[in-house]
Amino acid sequence: MTAAPIETPVVSAPACAAASACAGVAAEIALVHGWAMSLRVYAALEASLHGQVVRTLALPGHEGAPPVRAARLEDWADALAAGLADASVLVGWSLGAMLALDIACRHPHKVSRLVLLAGTARFVADDTGWPGLQAEVVDTFQRDYASAPAVTLARFLALQCMGEPRRRVVQQALAQCLSPGAQEGLCAGQAADDGLRPGVGRSAAPNPFEDGLAILAAADLRPLLGGIRQPVLLLHGDQDALMPVAAAYRLAQALPQARLQVLEGSGHALPVSRAADCAGHILAFVGARGDA
């Protein structure tokens, strides 16, 4: 299906220092994945970004990246920012999009432009009317993952693929992109019997998968949005059951310079289900195509 563009008002804002610094120079495109995923989730998208310099960044504790002891979004964002080139075009998906928002605000020299795939400023719905998953659902998911990670993760993958015309194919492809250890609830190198049996205490080592869920449950980036001065492109599936498209509308309205592109007939798994379309929009956004 075709994408339906939704333009949001663009508020005049000073050009960011990063954008000025890289004028006339092709910026590196950095890709940050979502919770429990590996860099493989971006394989098709990366292949479609023809002629661009692309860097993929693993979340802390995912696919060999060092874990971060504090289960706070800011600490994860700082760890990712350390691996970014200055003036990058930062692309984040799902939890990666939330981290990208934080990096753009607190490390502005690292980000010239921002692309949010299925992003939101707050994962959990609240009494202000913000669209998201109900707090009870998120709490249950955290508890279930701690006790039965493989079953809970399978449910999470199914939720990401809701609304996809080729749902089974997309879900199978997404399952191939899981980070090592995610189905067991372990970070790489942690022993399989280390605190996972009922009644046995967990290791003091950080568990990036449980920490990632805690970050999703707690993070609220809405207070930061007005301070994000870089141009932002939001790509969001109209059938997203995990991060509702209504949240993308609200997010686009709150950002000073944002454009929302809704992809019809798509759910949450955009890097897998709509890789070529996402790449086309990103190339246009960075001026690498004539239709920018």
Positions marked active-site: 94, 240, 268
Q: Give the separation between CA 118 and CA 107, rounded to whole angstroms.
A: 22
Written as one letter, the residue type at 218 is A
Cα-to-chain-centroid distance, residue 101: 10
Q: Give the separation between CA 185 and CA 145, rounded to whole angstroms.
A: 7
Distance separating the N- and C-terminal Cα atoms of the chain: 21
Q: Give the separation between CA 275 and CA 256, rounded to whole angstroms.
A: 27
Q: What angle do CA 223, 227, 232 make, to 5 degrees?
A: 105
Q: Is 166 exposed, middle or buried (0-12, 13-18, 19+ CB in 10 A)?
A: exposed
Q: Is 12 exposed, middle or buried (0-12, 13-18, 19+ CB in 10 A)?
A: exposed
